[in-house]
Amino acid sequence: MALSDEIEQQTQVIGREIFARLHTEAPSVFHFSWWDEKILEWCMRDEALKVRMFRFIDVLPMLKTGEQVARHLQEYFRDHQELFPIAVQWGLNVASLGTAPARAVALAVRRNATRMAQRFIAGATPGDALTAIRKLRRQSLAFTLDLLGEATLSEEEATGYEHRYLELLSSLSTTAESWEPVELIDTDHTGPIPRVQVSVKLTALYSQYDAIDPDHCAARVKARLRSILRKAKEVGASVTVDMEQYRYKDLTLRIFREILDEEEFRAWSHGGIVLQAYLRDTEQDLHDLLAWVKTRGTPVGVRLVRGAYWDYETVAAQQRHWPIPVFTGKWETDRNFERLVTLILDHAALLRPAIATHNIRSLAYALATARQVGLPERAVEFQMLYGMGDAIKATLVQLGQRVRVYAPFGELLPGMGYLVRRLLENTSNESFLRQGFVEHTAIAELLRSPDEHRLEEGASAERFEVAAHGLFHNEPELDFAQADARARFREALAHVRTQLGRTYPVVIDNQELTTTAEILSRNPSRPDEIVGRVAQAGIPEAERSVTVALGALPAWRAMPAAERAGFLFRAADEMRVRRLELAAWEVLEAAKPWREADADVCEAIDYLSYYAHEMLRLAPPRQMDDLPGEVNTYEYQSRGVAVVIAPWNFPLAILTGMTAAALVAGNTVILKPAEQTSVVAAKLMGIFRQVELPSGVLSYLPGIGEEVGAHLVTHPRVNVIAFTGSQAVGLQLNAVAAQTREGQRGIKKVIAELGGKNAIIVDDDADLDEAV
C-alpha cells in the first residue's frame, strides 16, 4: 500500500473515532446560547438578512443612544421583519424613536450583541481574560492571547499597543507561576514549554505599516516588537506573529526572519509565525521559511491556518484587476492545507507544528500523518478559536492531544471586526462547523479527501480577473506590496533622473518652437533640482495655435469616429508601455507619492480607452421615429476648437481626460498645462505625436495662465473651454466666456470641474478611524 493510501486510511479511522467521541447537546430555549444559535440559523437561512445583521453588528458600537439603535434596527430590518420571530417583529413595530419601547429594544439588542461578542472574545480586560484562561486550563486547554485592535492609525496608539503587551506578559507570567501544572498542555515531547503565549499583529506596532517602504517600516516595527520579544524571553513566554491581509504577508515574513536572526534572539526557540493555507504563495513561503530556519539553527513555531480574509482578498483583487491571491475553490484550500501539514510534520524538529483548524478531516489527517512519520505523542499542537468547536476540543483532549485556544480580548469596538469574521465563518456555506453541527452532513461526506472533491468540481477557477474582449476595463494599478513592482519603479526613477534638465519646446502644427522666455520646472521636494526647461508661449504662439487648429478642424471633424478612436487606443497602448516612466516623472515634477503617481497614469490610460469606447458607442446616427415622409436622426458633432486648461495636482490624468474627450469627439485641441507640471504635459504631447496624430489637431502651449490662458479663453474662434481648478478662477472663466466678441460665431461651451463642491458627510454611525 502506498504511503498516501496508508495515511488516507488512517485519516478515515481517526476521523470516525473523533466523530464517535463527540458529545454535543442542543442548548435549551431558556439558555442564552439558544438565542445565539437561532440568530445564526436565521442568518444561514437568508443571505440578505445575514448581510444586514452583520452590518448592524459592525456598526453597533458607534451607536450611543437608544434612539440611534432603534432607528438603525428599523432601517436595517423593517423590510425583513417576516424573517424574525413574532416577538422581534412586535418590537420593531412599536419601537418608535424616542419611546420607552425603543429604549427597551435598544438595551436588549446591545446586551445580546455584547453577549454574542463574549462568546468569541475572552473579555474586555486582562482580568476578564485571566478568568477565561483559568477556565480553559481547568479543561486541560492551553491558550494564546490576542489583544484586539490591529491597524493602528497613530504612533500614540502603536506605542499603547506595545505597552499593553509588555504589561500583559509581565502580569500573566507572574500569575502563571501559581497555576497548578497540567502536564498535557504544559509539556510536549521534549519537556516543559511556556505556559504563557501571546499572538501579535505587526500592523498594530506602526501606524504607517506599508510594504511600499519596507526598510523604514521594518525598522519601526522591529523597534517595538523587539521590546515585546525581549520581555517574553525574560519571563519565559512565547510569541506568535499573526498573519493578516495578503498585502502585509511578505513584509511580515521579512520582519519575523530579520528580528529572530538578531544575536539577541537567534538561540530563542519560542517565536512563531502564522501561515495561511488559502494563499497560493504559502507553499513556497513555507519552503523559504524552512531554508532560513536551517541556516538559523534554532526551531520556530508555525501555526497553520486556512485564513480568515477570503472574502476581502477576493473582492479586493477583483476590484483592482489583480491576480486573486487565494484559492477560489474550498477543495483547493483543503488540499493545500494537507500538503502543508505534511511538509511541516516532515520537519517538525525545525518547524514546531501548531495545526489550527476545526475541520475534523484536517485534524484526523494531521494525526495520521504525525503517526506515519513517527512523531512522538504531543509533538503536534492543535489550535482552535475561543467559543468555537468546544466539543471537538474536548474530544481531542480525551485523545491525549495538546490543544491551545486562540483567545482574543479587548474592547468591544475594536473587537467587532473580529466578531463579524467569526460570524461569517460560522454561517458560511462551506463552514465545517455549519455542515457538521447545524446541517448534519453525513460523516462520510465530511471526511472525504479534497482530491475527490477536485475530481467532481473540476479545475481551479481563473486566477486573473479578465475583462471581456473589446470592452472597457480599468487599468490595474501596481501592487507595491510586491518586491518586483518596487524594484521596477526604482529603476524607472533612476532612468528618469538621467533625463532631468532637458528643454521642451512649444509644439504647434507638429513643429517644435523655441521662445525667449522659459518656465523652470522644479522638483517640489528638492527645489534646487531642475526637472526641465520649458519654452514659455506668449500671445503670438496662442494666436498661431488657434489659426492652426481652425485649419485642421474640417478634416479631423470629417474623419470617421472609429479612426479618431483608433488614435486614442494607440495612445493608451503607448502609455501602458511607458507607464512607469510617466509615473516617475510625476514623482519628480509633482511630488506625487509612488502609489498615487502610478494611479494617475492608470487613470490617464482609462480616459483614453473609455472615451474611445464611448465615441464608438455614440457615433452611429440614431433613427428617432418612423413618420411617413420624414427622416429624423440624432447624432453628435464636434463643436470646433477646444482649449484645455489643466491643473498640477493630477498632472497626467485630468489633462489626458479633457484632451482625449475633446479630440475623439472631433474637436481640435490647444493643450495649456499647469506651469508647475509642464514636463509631464510634454510627455503626453510626445505620445500623441508618436501615434501620428494629424498635424494641427493638437497643440502643446505651455505658458502663464494669466497671459496665455486668459487670451485663449476670450478668443472669438475658441468654441470649447475645458477647465479644472479653483472655484474662484472657474467662476471668473464662466463670466468671461459668456461675453460674446466680434467674430464669435457661437456661444462658448465651458466645462468646469471646480474645487470646494465635494462634501464628505460622516454619519453618526461611521467608524471614525475609517472616515479619517
Q: What does the pLDDT look like over 494-508, one tens digit per residue?
A: 999 999 999 999 999
Q: Where are the alpha helices (DSSP H) in 308-359?
A: 310-320, 330-346
Q: Vertex 533, ends 528 and 537: CA angle to 5°?
A: 135
Mean of pLDDT values over 377-390: 92
Length of the chain: 772
Spatial distance between the Cα atoms of 609 and 140, rounded to a whole number of angstroms: 63
* 134-158 pLDDT per residue, tens: 999 999 999 999 998 666 889 999 9
Q: Which domains does the chain have, with CATH numbers?
A: 32-115 (no CATH), 121-457 (3.20.20.220), 483-621+636-754 (3.40.605.10)
Spatial distance between the Cα atoms of 238 and 58, rounded to a whole number of angstroms: 32
Q: Vertex 315, ends 450 and 208: CA angle to 5°?
A: 115
Which residue, 487, 476, 156, is CA-closest to 323? Answer: 476
On the question of pLDDT at 711 being above 70, the answer is yes
Which residue, 290, 278, 545, is CA-closest to 425? Answer: 278
On the question of pLDDT at 469 being above 50, the answer is no
Looking at 10-19, 25-34, 360-369, 403-412, which range is the least confident one? 25-34
Spatial distance between the Cα atoms of 550 and 676, rounded to a whole number of angstroms: 28
The larger pLDDT score, comparing residue 89 to residue 21, is at 21
CA 467 to each of CA 319, 472, 575, 603, 605: distance values in angstroms, whole numbers, following the listed order = 12, 8, 19, 17, 15
On the question of pLDDT at 75 being above 60, the answer is yes
The larger pLDDT score, comparing residue 64 to residue 324, is at 324
On the question of pLDDT at 276 being above 50, the answer is yes
Looking at 140-154, 205-219, 393-407, which range is the least confident one? 140-154
Quick check: 759 and 66 in contact, CB under 8 A? no
Mean of pLDDT values over 417-422: 66
Would you tell me how many other CB atoms lie within 10 Å of the CB of residue 502?
12
* 35-54 pLDDT per residue, tens: 455 565 655 556 666 677 77
pLDDT of residue 541: 97
The 3-state DSSP composition of the chain as helix, strand, coil percent (nearest 5) reads: 55, 15, 30
Looking at 59-63, 500-504, 555-559, which range is the least confident one? 59-63
Would you tell me how many other CB atoms lie within 10 Å of the CB of residue 463?
15
How does DSSP classify residue 129? H
Q: Is 307 left (phi over 0), alpha (psi -120 to 50) or beta?
A: left
Q: Please, which pLDDT band fits residue 466 given cuts at 50, 70 and 90?
A: very low
pLDDT of residue 467: 39
On the question of pLDDT at 91 being above 60, the answer is no
Mean of pLDDT values over 632-637: 90
Spatial distance between the Cα atoms of 487 and 749, rounded to a whole number of angstroms: 45
Q: What percent of the chain has pLDDT over 90?
A: 68
For residue 40, give every residue at least 6 positions away whose Cβ sits within 8 Å of its Cβ, in sequence order, or none.
Answer: 423, 426, 427, 438
Task: Please tell me the pTM assigned to this model.
Answer: 0.88
User: Cα-flanking dihedrals φ and ψ of residue 370, to 5°?
Assistant: -60, -40
User: Cα-flanking dihedrals φ and ψ of residue 623, to 5°?
Assistant: -70, 130
* 643-699 pLDDT per residue, tens: 999 999 999 999 999 999 999 999 999 999 999 999 999 999 999 999 999 999 999
Would you tell me how many other CB atoms lie within 10 Å of the CB of residue 634?
8
pLDDT of residue 462: 43
- All three cell numbers of 250, joined, read 511578505
For residue 170, give every residue at least 6 positions away whose Cβ sits within 8 Å of its Cβ, in sequence order, or none.
Answer: 231, 235
pLDDT of residue 65: 76
